[in-house]
Amino acid sequence: MLLMASVFAGAGVAQAAQFDLSTATIADINAAFDAGALSSEKLVSLYLARIEAYDKKGPAINSVINLNPKALAEARALDAERKAKGPRSPLHGMVVLAKDVFDTKDMPTTGGFKPMATSQPDRDAFVIERLRDAGAIILAKVNLADWYGVAPSGGSTLIGHCISPYNPKKYSGGSSSGTGVSMAAWFGTIGLGSDTGGSTVIPSTLNNLVGFSTTHGLISRRGMMWSSPTQDNPGLMGRSVYDGAATLDIVAGFDTADLATQRGLGRLPDKPYTSFVNPQGLRGARVGVLREMVRPGEDHAEGRALFERELAVIRKAGAIVVDPVLTGLDLPVTQLDASTSSYERAFAVRHYLAGLPKDAPITTLEQMLATGQVSASTVSSAKIRFLERDPDFLARRRHQDAIRAALVDVMDRHQLDALVLPYRTTVAAEIGAVPTTRTSVARRSNANNSLHAYTGLPTIIVPGGFFASDGMPFGMQFLGREFSEPTLITVASGYEAVSKHRRAPASTPALPGEKFEY
């Protein structure tokens, strides 16, 4: 029958649809659900088979800390509900991989920190709750750069570091490293990360993914381990801009438990974020090239060439490219003086631990410090008594405001829809060559363009190709004004449609049953 459909397609008979798990978006999966060619139970089974084959075996990417033992039962129940009542949302039956900083009432939340291996919250984090209410399944809690301890960069004291499926010798990105590598190896449909100083966009870039770090205050952080009330944001990773937008439709919103979300009241779009996805989104868009974040020097030469190539793609797609766009600041250097996380960390730790059940292994900062295994920044910030009276912290807050104002001013002055810049133009470091403490990671960040993290402005990473020298991915970054996610989604999806740089890693090939026609 499939052959007949193919032969007579020209005579008006519909061609068979093709399904490929490695490239399937939320829309593709829903189409297969609607046709009866796929169920959520089957989808979970396919992802579990991949985890079995590639997480601790094969390339051993080492991403999964805990699996949801009830995932298949949840999938069966959601399939029955779909049949009886229809789907709750576009995420009904989809599979989520969550960085192990998001509280889950049915699985431990460890932060990758060995002394908290059995720490069991009694309720879900805000974003987990929203996703489950929408019908999504939390399949796994995944590895990360240890949230509290000192471990190999991109890994944890609990299970070690993650391995890049694109190059096993290379750093896979922190701190949401497990989300990045597991999504690259297609262990799930949607990935949850978190971002303090680039912790969503770094692994998105290095794992050839689309990454969303949204406006500060658009998504609640309730029930999320954090280190900086000023900078921390939940992050989204997927294989398409549409997937990020569909997830944002579920998790964005006001939460009385995180008053930063008051800033979003009245500023969310009336239409779904998915409605702003547009393959022609670059046509007529005004995009400014933030040249101050394009680094000179031989180490950056290959990355600069990739960036220039992609700018040509953007121009050809019909965008009006304003080049250069300059703030007048030495942004690569000045961004280093805008980080506040090392000052706020102990205050954030206290806040998170206070919300855990009384029988959790660690419920106070003092208990954590007593383990002798915590990061240097946690120890140093614990010595600060009053943040509101700390002159260095307050100076950094003013510095954040100044950088944000400069970026918004340059966008307004040139009437831009977005700024474009490379996330990084150097090749990825090798495992073991990346500093392990948070202070040194912050100092190393001059190789990255993390303005979003220090200003609270939204950014979307889209795959921009690969470095020929090591096979690692390159990412294009689109940065916008506060709450300009609809415009960024339009611009980023327009670039995605014409660039088409998503490519599955060779080290985790397709398994039987992942490709079919229907």
Q: How do residues 34-87 score in pLDDT, each as one tens digit?
A: 999 999 999 999 999 999 999 999 999 999 999 999 999 999 999 999 999 999
Detail the DSSP E strand segments found in 101-260.
137-142, 155-156, 160-161, 190-195, 210-213, 233-238
In a domain, 361, yes or no: yes
Q: Return the pLDDT at 436.
A: 45
The mean of the pLDDT values for the chain is 94
Question: Radius of gyration of the chain from Cα atoms?
Answer: 22
Task: State the residue range of the domain holding 482.
Answer: 41-507
Distance of CA 265 to the CA centre of its chain: 23
pLDDT at 439: 43
For residue 2, pLDDT over 50 is answered with no
Domain membership of residue 33 (yes or no) is no
Q: Count the domains in the chain.
A: 1
Residue 350 has, within 13 A of its CA and on its CB side, a CA count of: 10
Query: Considering the domain boundaries, does residue 378 fall inside one?
Result: yes
Write the pLDDT tens digit of every residue in 158-214: 999 999 999 999 999 999 999 999 999 999 999 999 999 999 999 999 999 999 999
The Cα angle at residue 307 between residues 303 and 311, in degrees rounded to 5:
170
Look up the pTM and report it. Answer: 0.95
SS3 475: strand
Answer yes or no: is pLDDT of 7 > 60: no
pLDDT of amino acid 442 = 39
Q: Rounded CA gap, 323 and 286, in Å?
A: 11
User: Is residue 362 predicted with pLDDT exceeding 50?
Assistant: yes
Rounded CA separation 280/236 (Å): 23
User: pLDDT per residue over 255-288, tens digit each?
Assistant: 999 999 999 999 999 999 999 999 999 999 999 9
Amino acid found at 89? S
- Average pLDDT in the 289-299 region? 95
- CATH code of the domain containing 345: 3.90.1300.10
Q: What is the mean pLDDT of residues 392-405?
A: 97
Give the list of residues 6+ apart from residue 241 with CB closer than 8 angstroms, or none: 210, 277, 460, 462, 489, 492, 493, 496
* pLDDT class of 319 with cuts at 50, 70, 90: very high
Confidence of residue 245 (pLDDT cuts 50, 70, 90): very high
In a domain, 26, yes or no: no
Task: Locate 330 and state its tokens.
Answer: 């030495």
pLDDT (average), residues 220-238 = 97
Q: How confident is the model over 242-264, as a mean pLDDT?
A: 98
Give residue 13's pLDDT.
58
Whether pLDDT at 486 is above 70: yes
The residues that are catalytic are 99, 175, 199
**7 lies in a domain?**
no
Asked if residue 441 has pLDDT above 60, the reply is no
Separation CA 224–CA 126 (nearest Å):
8
Residue 176 lies in a domain: yes
